[in-house]
Structure 1
């Protein structure tokens, strides 16, 4: 054992020395590159700051000049005369303007101090017909004046200032000493702190330095694309770093470039602190690494002893051991594995093994060569036995050391099935679909084919499940799954069950997208006839969403986005009453994005209290006065003023925000009810199914009711029929508690829900509200009139009040009154209004009697009154 320890120690020392030499060399190179990268980032950032300063200063100075000219014109003064007279007091960046003059664009002339200059032929209109320009008299007019001017043009008036001192103001304050060039994107030099003024093209300096056109083109590409860039060049006979930063301005269509030239050694010297820090860090790492090596050595020394002990343990524990050649042929296996096999088939090559590998489809021989563990599956006595083999290299081949992990793998299979398959239909679920889509995106050849993802949903499955019961509902889903499988027999497709009644199909390698239309027709034809189940005849309606996986059409397309787009198409199909299927287009994502923004704004609205209650009056034709109001919540955000309140209410119910919004509505409504108590009217408020089924809701409402010290009967809670289906008993218990605490209960939208009449006997309600759908056609449709009469008579016979919603005309009012409905609500009285307007309505109808709803009363109705 000591011999192995000495060998280990010598190996560690040699390895440590070699490693240190390599690390020091690599670290030196890396630190230099790091420092240079940091320098380049710093120079780019500095250049962009200077560029922005120049841009802002030019804009500011131009605006001052423009204001001067505009002011002179408004005061009916000659701007040119005034500018010349005040030239000593008109400043620009601490200095004064060199010249003021006028420009004649059509005749290509500039007049300065009564002297007219003609632009040369090669100086284009583009060069001088812009609000901010840069040129000298030699280039522009052919004179000997080489001074480069910045030129402001407002209408026909120009102001010129020397460009070099103007630019120097920004660049002399730089932390790192540098030279600079201010040039156009076409590489014309306007001003420079170092270059020969006779050479006006910047790229010529690079050519003189011996740089190839390819090298220059690299710089040109940055300039043409209006990007920032850093280049290390031998420029003007010294190693330099050139920083190119664009200078933009809304006042000129041209883009200019600020080129700053730094001496490389100066830049690196400015970052000596960084080099010192890096070497200090390296010293710390060196010490820690040395300590780690010593610790590892001690650990390995102990491990040698552990390995010896483990070798003895293995000898006595008798694991399953197989010796194989490099080709995979089995040389021998030990007695333990032989006893495990018993009378089952013997193996001559590990390629004959059945292995369990879900995530990496490689052969057992490949895993052998890569020394990767694998799990072998044996069928012994009709039971699966799982042996986990670890591969170790040995002379002439490999040794496989195995352990029985059946107790672990059995549980894993159960959990895997739960995670990947729907328990009712036994179809793969959304996790598998995403995994399969990932494989499509990973295979470019498959991705370029015609691939489609389809989702479909069973319309009103909750009602079907209610009729059939849970067990038969499951069998119904299995039946639909089988129908879908039959429709896919001749298609390269796979069926998935995403959730309860929502399915998906992944089509790959189709001949064309038209195949999907054919499949849709085939599947819908299978559902044309009613399905018989437990002596019930069921008409099945499905909605289908389709998304063509055309990766070239989308900038970003992933498995999750594909599925989301298919679901968006499905949701759109579900909103349509005529089309059973819908193909995704980009506009759906825009709608979804808007709904996401709306959802975020709705969450903020709860925090910011952006809700208020509007009151719609309820008028009694018998008492000839307003007897109450329905409180309707409104969102005050102007972005959604055109949206129906129903939209944000449904969104709030879906995202469980309705609980917080409902709490706001309760406080606002109960406060209004307290203020209206002197007027002897009641207030009704809608209660969401989500609120009603929330634990603690009843106690919270009663607590708020008592907080405002309201009289019994002053508040009515309005519920709808639809949410009674699944929670009838629970809702009845809660409503009874409300009744005992002085609340009235209104059944809203009566007649539009599911099996409405079965609830009237047991529900503790005071009032039925006839839905607006029946009132709309009551003037022209005999069936609607009959329904209103039937509901009114039914309510009268079981001692319930009736309110007709949506009454908008006097004729509608007369018809519902004649049918036996005394109380109306609708635009005939008025729309939902703020509290102040509601009080005015009470005064007009109840107190001053200046307003009245006219209704034809028979003698019988008068006598009853």
Structure 2
């Protein structure tokens, strides 16, 4: 049986009734198992859909396919078993009166059923899954611990490869445990004040001055300590939190900017394509601007270059609206995208931001300079400026000064720092970096 009802909590959908139903069914199963001295199992199942369904235009297709998967899942279980959908791609299953061997058979049957080809319009989609299992009473006798251990084992199964299941045997996989803690705690991190913004300065080579800073979200977890966005952003995406995090960062930046009398610096904020295509984006951004009396010209929106062909037109339309509002537009991770040059030159952008891999490839193979130099020249011919990130040391800095980039960003300039540290250290950073020039300033 599936139970699902959502209520809005900030910007995160919390499936309240699903969790309540799961707990009720599990409590009942555990009480029955304890009374009659039987074993039971909690299974955590994660479905992996094809990348083709990662865009909003495919939401209807994804829903239909998930319904088909759910039907197959129910068909692989007994009437006495309980299936609860806990989020967009995860299910928890309560299996009563089952041995470990029989549970293994059922789980393998589920995996086989889900991964089998889908007829008609879905035959070309490849579906995979991972399953974690914790048995009562061997794994645990506590409801919440059974659920947690099953989820940890799901990540353990994922490390083994596609379409695998893993039983909790008492040995805790610390990597999988960390993933579960991050995923479970992230929805509450914002409410509990654990998230904050640091700013990484952007240095203009021609002006020899700090002209901007990129706003970067950070998470100080109470038990795990500092967690990098590279580790938790994917979980935020899975939990449907990315939009909420973007607007939170945008508002945090605006709050800080309002407190500054000197507003010469521009602040860059990352914006994904999916967020860019939100119907409410323009209105929501405009309302925050007005609330804090911030001019759009003071903000650069960095858009990832992972723009699929079929979204170029819609992306173009939204970017033109943002440009009309006065925002500066940067195309982040340039060189990793999928669209053509003809599409690229139509985008109303002001900057391209070269992927940090270019930095390392340049130093490892001097032949790559012959590829990178024309890219920078092309950008300048199109009246675009070039930002390079990931500059870690003096050698890299010198190489990129020679290549006539416009802005430099990386630990050589400064690590990400608090807003207060940024405003207090601008002069010191400028003096230090100016002293490290070993080539003539680009003309």
TM-score by length of 1: 0.39
- Return the offset for 1:440: 2.3
Larger RCO (alpha carbons 8 Å, 6+ apart):
2
Matched, 1:557 2:143: yes
Partner of 1:765: 349
Contact 2:216 2:416 in 1 (8 A): no
Offset at residue 643 of structure 1 (A): 0.6
Alignment pair present for 1:496 and 2:83: yes
What aligned pairs does 1:132-143 form with structure 2 within 5 A after superposition? none
Structure 2: how far apart are the matches of 1:465 and 1:687? 16
Q: What runs of 5+ residues in structure 1 fail to find an aligned partner?
A: 1-416, 422-428
**Larger Rg belongs to:** 1
The 5-angstrom pairing of residues 30-41 of structure 1 reads: none
Superposed CA deviations along residues 254-273 of structure 1, whole A, max 9, x for unmatched, are xxxxxxxxxxxxxxxxxxxx
Residue aligned with 1:643, SS: strand
Q: 1:783 to 1:419 in 2, by over 3 A?
A: farther
Shift in CA distance, 601/796, structure 1 to aligned 2, threshold 3 Å: closer
Q: Please list the CA deviations of residues 101-158 of structure 1 after superposition, one character each: whole Å capped at 9, or x if unmatched.
A: xxxxxxxxxxxxxxxxxxxxxxxxxxxxxxxxxxxxxxxxxxxxxxxxxxxxxxxxxx
Residue 632 of structure 1, aligned match among 206, 215, 229: 215
Cα displacement string for residues 167-213 of structure 1 (whole angstroms, at most 9, x for unaligned residues) = xxxxxxxxxxxxxxxxxxxxxxxxxxxxxxxxxxxxxxxxxxxxxxx
Query: 1:746 offset after TM fit, Å?
Result: 1.5
SS of 2:209's partner is strand
Q: Does the aligned pair in 2 maintain the 1:746–1:769 contact within 8 Å?
A: yes
Rounded Cα–Cα distance in structure 1 between residues aligned with 2:22 and 2:42: 10
**Residues 774-785 of structure 1 aligned to structure 2 (within 5 Å):** 774-780=358-364
Does residue 510 (structure 1) correspond to residue 93 (structure 2)? The answer is no
**Matching residue of 1:453:** 42
Rounded to whole Å, the distance in 2 between the matches of 1:817 and 1:577 is: 45
Please say if 1:540 is aligned against 2:124: no
- TM-score, normalized by length of structure 2? 0.67
1:802 aligns with 386
Report deviation, 1:836. Answer: 1.3
Mean Cα deviation higher: 581-590 or 808-817: 581-590
Q: Please list, as runs of the form range in 1=range in 2, the aligned pairs for 1:19-418 lying within 5 A after superposition.
A: none
The structural deviation recorded for 1:451 is 2.0
User: Please, what is the CA RMSD of the aligned residues?
Assistant: 5.2
Q: Which whole-Å CA distance do the structure 1 matches of 2:367 and 2:65 have between them?
A: 36
CA distance in 2, matches of 1:726, 1:438: 48
Deviation at 1:467, TM superposition (A): 10
- 8 Å CA contact 2:44, 2:90 repeated in 1: yes
Aligned twin of 1:720: 304
Aligned length: 413
Q: 1:852 aligns with which of 416, 424, 436?
A: 436
Q: In 2, Cα distance between the equivalents of 1:445 and 1:463?
A: 46
Structure 2 CA distance for aligned equivalents of residues 582 and 784 of structure 1: 45
- Corresponding residue for 1:667? 255
What's the offset of the Cα at 1:744? 0.8
What is the CA deviation profile of residues 796-844 of structure 1, one whole-angstrom value per residue up to 9, with x for unaligned ones? 5654322121022444446556667443211232323422112322345
Please give the alpha-carbon distance, in whole angstroms, between the structure 2 residues aligned to 1:504 and 1:758. Answer: 47
**Aligned position for 1:738:** 322
Cα offsets for 1:34-55 (capped at 9, x unmatched): xxxxxxxxxxxxxxxxxxxxxx
Contact kept, 8 Å, 1:446 with 1:508, in 2: the verdict is no
8 Å Cα contact 1:748-1:770 kept in structure 2: yes
- 1:618 counterpart residue number: 203
Aligned to 2:430: 842
